[in-house]
Amino acid sequence: MPSVRAVRWHGNRDIRLDHLELPPLEYGQVRIAPAWCGICGSDLGEWEHGPVRYFYNLPGCPTVVGHEFTGIVREVHPSVKTIKPGTRAVILPADGDDSCRMCVRGCHSSCERLKLYGYQSNGGLTDLATVKASMCFELPDSIPFDIGALIEPLAVAWNAIEGSGFQAATHRALVIGTGTIGLGTTACLVAMGVEPSRIMVVGRNAMRNEKAREYGINNVYSSTDINLVQKAKDLFEKVGPDVVFDAAATPSTFAQGLSCLRVGGVYWAYGIYHENIDGFDATQIPLRRLTLKGALGYDDHIFPAVIRALDDGRLNHDLLRSWITGRILLEDTQEKGLGELAMNKGEHIKILVQVNKM
C-alpha cells in the first residue's frame, strides 16, 4: 500500500505529522489530493481542550484533522459514476449514515449517527484523503482552490440565513461576532441582496470589524463601546432586528441577542457554547413570540448555492481572500497554525494549510 503524510490529532496540544498506509477504497468512496485546508476554531478548541463534547460520537485517537478543504479527485471506486479522476472538488465534511431521517431529507451534517471528516473520520490534512463521492462537489475553474477552502464556513453562514427565514427584501439583521462565521454571514447577506443599511454588525476585534465595513456596512460597532440592546433598538425603528445571528456564542450574547429582537423575531445559534446559560428568563419566548433556531452545519443543497455565488461574483473573491491571514505548509500545522492561533488569535481570521501544490 502507498504511504502518505497525514497531520493527526493524538491528544491535547499533540498534533503530529505521521506517515500512513492507504486502505483500499470502499464502495462509494473516492481519493482526493487536497490543495488547501482551513484551520477552524473548532480545530483550535480540540487541540487546546480536547474533543468537542457536544458531538454525537467523540472522535477516536489518533484522527487526521481538517474539514475545510478543496482538491483534485485522483482515484474513484468502480461503483462511483458521479465524479471522475481529475475533477476539481470541495468536500462537504459530513460522513453520515445515509439512512437516518436527517440524511434522507438532505441534511447529512445533522445525521443522527454523525461522523465528521476531521473529527470522527479522517479529514483533509493529508496527501490523499478518502471521502464519500456523494460529499464531493465540483469546483468550477473560476473558483481558486484557496477561495474554495472558505466554502465550508460560508455554507454555515448561508444555511443560517436560509434556515432563519430571513427575507432579504424586508428584514433587518444583527450579526454578533466578526470571526469567520460572523463575517461569512455578513458577506452572504450582502450577496443575497440585503441593503447594507439593514445590517448591523457587532464585534470585539477592530481588524475584523473593518472587514465587515468593506461590504459597505456603516453600522459596525465595537461591542465594548455600545449598549448592544439599546443600539439595535435605536437603529431599527425602536423595535429591533427581525433576526439575530449570534456567531459569538456566549451566555451574554445569547441574553443580549434575545433582548434585541423585535416581537416575533428569530435568534439563530451556530456556535458552540462553552458555558451553560444560567438565569435565562424563558418567559420572554412565548411573551414576545420569539423563535430559537440553529445548526452547526448546513443542508446539502447549501454547498451548490455558495459555489454558484462564488462563480457568478456575488461573493467577492478579493474581499474573501483578504480574510486569509496566514498560509502554511502541512508540516507546520502545529507550530505555525494551531500554535499561532492560540498565541495570536486576534491577529487572524483564517489560516490555510497548503497540502499539495496545484
- Mean pLDDT of all residues belonging to the chain: 95
- Find residue 120's DSSP bridge partners: none
- Answer yes or no: is pLDDT of 50 > 90: no
Give mean pLDDT, residues 271-298: 90
pLDDT for the residue 59: 56
> How far is it, in rounded angstroms, from Cα 126 to Cα 68?
13
Q: What CA–CA distances, in Å, run from 88 to 69, 145, 269?
A: 11, 8, 32
Helix (H) or strand (E) holding 230: helix 228-235
The C-alpha cell of 193 is what?
Answer: 441582496
The yes-or-no verdict on residue 55 having pLDDT over 60 is no
Task: List, for residues 136-183, the tens digit of each pLDDT value.
Answer: 999 999 999 999 999 999 999 999 999 999 999 999 999 999 999 999
DSSP state of 126: B
> What pTM value is reported for the model?
0.96
The full set of domains in the chain, from first to last, is: 3-150+323-354 (3.90.180.10), 157-294 (3.40.50.720)
Mean pLDDT (whole number) for 254-276: 93
Band (pLDDT 50/70/90 cuts) for residue 111 is: very high
Tens digits of residue pLDDT in 192-205 = 999 999 999 999 99
Residue 15, pLDDT score:
92
Residue 56, pLDDT score: 47
Strands 68-76 and 88-91 turn out to be antiparallel
Contact at 8 Å (CB) between 211 and 322? Answer: yes
